[in-house]
Structure 1
Amino acid sequence: MENIDDKKFIENVENLIDPEEVSLLFFFQKFRKLLPKSLFKRVLLKTSKQNPYIGFVIEPYSFFLFYKLKDVEKARSLLPARYELKKSRIFADEEPEHYFGIGIFNTRATTFWGARLECYLIAEDKETGLISWIFLDVLSNTLIAMPRSGIEAPNCEKSYITTSSRGEIHLDFIEKKTGRQIKAKGSIKRGKLRKLDQPLWLMGNTSIAHIKNLSDNDDNPFAVIFDPSEVEQSLDIPVEDINVEINSLFPGLAEEEPSKVLCFPYAQHYISDSPGCRTYVKNRSAMLDYYREISNRSEMKSFSTKVIIKFFYAGMILTGIGSLLYILSLLGLV
């Protein structure tokens, strides 16, 4: 076990999460159409560079389903040229396979707060050689950071994951626009702690990117910094204990039944790169160096909505002036 100060790191992560800031960003994103998309992205990137880190916490009982890929060529076609589809292990002591992954969890962060479902492919970054998590899709009832647009609105009509006193997981996500859905229920009581594959779970989280149609021609990965022990092991859940009632997320891409099911029974604390920022983590030693550096900071500035709000107000004023001039022109007053 490495000599690290998790208490101070956790404190710094928590200090980056401000419910009021999240609420303001959630409110003002509804008016983002008042600004051109390109301008909004530039404002977001400017704000990110002033505060390059985002803190977020994944709450206990985050849940992962992994399916063996069925249409490997389809999966390959979705990846940016920088990435190559890669067989990977989920747990440390097994043979690698091509996987389609789904992660479902409750989270709170500097810029969002709610339930979130992420779909992944696993690839190799040909420039760095790192195993990489590639976002295929995100469903959520809270804000979604996305390279193509900066920040996107919640996209679900239903989205929850929760546990019961019976040791069960309940989850149901439905995308509002398409009706795509995943619904599952099952017991996690028979789960046993098992070592996870570190190239995927440790280093893979330092190389996170998006498929082509989400990336807006930006194939650069971002990283998260965290205590390696938080992904050292997880509960290996017997697949027969989980009933996936509905899964219409990506028909035909993967096998119908999950191959691996796992759950983290504790919170995980991360520092992530803000949009447009990049921390290159070469190996485990570099991860620990970044971790200690963040732990030793006396304070960390949080991502702030102040710049974004100023531009929103400017957009509202300009829109109002434009509307007034249009009305006056119709009346022949200008």
Structure 2
Amino acid sequence: MRSGIEPSELRSFIALAEERISPKGVASLHGRAEMLAKLPLGLQRRIVSLARQDDDMGFVVEPYCTFLAYEIRDEAAARRLLPTGYRLAPTAMFADETPRPCAILGAFNVHASVFWGARVELYLIAEHESTGMLTWVICDYESNTINYDPGQGFSASTTSRAVVTTSHAGEVIVDVRSRRRTNALVLTASLEAGEMRALDQRLWVDGNLSVDYGGRLEHADSVPFGLVFDPAEMTRALRLPVEAVVVDRNTFGADFRAERPFSVACFPYAQHFLTTSYPRSSPIRDRQALEDAVRAQAAGRRPVLGRAGAGGR
């Protein structure tokens, strides 16, 4: 079986992801999500469990999303945020870096079938003890649009300010502040100082096949979910020297991470994904199956991306 997605297949997949995203549809869902947020959590989870099993969505991360990797200095505190069955896994963002236990902070703009806006997410990188799957565990986030997570259900915007943008001076500018919590990320990064470098494939490809929730966001009945994407989108990114990134304020994970990041990555192009509307486990476990899923979607065969109740827990 051949490997690698053909350019025509990639363009078809990109068009498929984009065409599933409608500003009108997102606008109508915004109001519904805010209404659902007023319901008891148990009822919210019941509604999610009855959602269509084959209802997959487009998810597009816009150019210049930026990730900061911090070494974990208090592993015990970090482990307390992991769901049962996970252990911290040493990793690195780029292929030539020394792996170490780390927390990664991502700042990005996204448009998806169910929301549209800016987000900052805090991840712990962990390995599932039973499946061996490397997993991005989302432990905290702030967003200026509607949200859903298993631990807290639906919610409206959580931010008082949400700026993730670029300037004509060649900078990434992030200024995201929570309206409810002490979370804040304020930074400026020079793009001109960056160079395209090879990414660690286990982190960026394998890790995105298993995404889970930890800390205040987790719930015992939730399962890890996966993303479908062309793995070539995770081949390289801009490596920004840490001295070219001025972090004026970062309170995410401050109780267990180092003060300064050891690595910064920026993707100067859009990334296109398909995933399920609500967290559902994915049958995709390796790069070959991922490429097969992209080809199937591009050809209009549309395999089911997830199934409720299955997974690695």
Q: 1:48·1:276 contact (CA, 8 Å) conserved in 2?
A: no
Partner in structure 1 of residue 296 of structure 2 = 293
- Residue 256 of structure 1: SS of its match in structure 2? coil
Structure 2 equivalent of residue 27 of structure 1: 31
> Is residue 134 of structure 1 aligned with residue 143 of structure 2?
no
Taking a change above 3 Å as real, the CA distance of residues 24 and 3 of structure 1, as seen in their structure-2 partners, is closer
The residue number in structure 2 matching 1:157 is 160
Q: How does 1:1-334 map to 2 (within 5 A)?
A: 2-4=4-6, 5-32=9-36, 35-51=39-55, 53-218=56-221, 220-297=223-300
- Closer, same or farther: CA 217–84 of 1 in aligned 2, 3 Å: same
Give the distance between the partners of 2:201 and 2:89, measured in 1 at CA. 15
Partners of 2:119 and 2:45 in 1: CA distance:
22
**Offset of 1:251 from its aligned partner?**
2.2
- Shift of residue 33, structure 1, vs aligned partner: 5.2
Matched residue, 1:325? none
Distance 1:299 1:272 in 2: 12
Q: CA RMSD in A?
A: 1.8
Q: CA, structure 1 residues 219+71, in 2 after alignment: closer, same or farther (shift >3 Å)?
A: farther
Q: Which runs of 5+ in 1 are unaligned?
A: 302-334
Q: Which has the higher helix share?
A: 1
Is the contact between residue 152 and residue 216 of structure 2 (CA under 8 Å) also seen in structure 1? no
**Alpha-carbon shift at residue 24 of structure 1 (Å):** 1.1
**Structure 2 residues without counterparts, runs of 5 or longer:** 305-313
More moved, 105-114 vs 175-184? 175-184
Separation in structure 2 between the aligned mates of residue 231 and residue 66 of structure 1, nearest angstrom = 16
Q: Once the two structures are aligned, what percentage of the paired residues are identical?
A: 35
The separation in 2 between residues aligned to 1:150 and 1:142, in whole angstroms, is: 14
Cα 1:212/1:164, change in 2 over 3 Å: closer
For the Cα contact (< 8 Å) 2:120–2:141, is it kept in 1? yes
Provide, for residues 308-333 of structure 1, a one-character-per-residue CA deviation record: whole Å limited to 9, x for no partner.
xxxxxxxxxxxxxxxxxxxxxxxxxx
Cα deviation for residue 299 of structure 1 reads: 7.7
Three-state SS of the structure 2 residue aligned to 1:96 is: coil
Q: Is the 8 A contact 1:65 1:103 kept in 2?
A: yes
Q: 1:196 and 1:145 mapped to 2: Cα distance?
A: 29
Q: What TM-score do you get using the length of structure 1 for normalisation?
A: 0.85
**Contact 1:191 1:235 survives alignment (8 Å):** yes
Q: Aligned-pair distance for 1:247?
A: 1.1
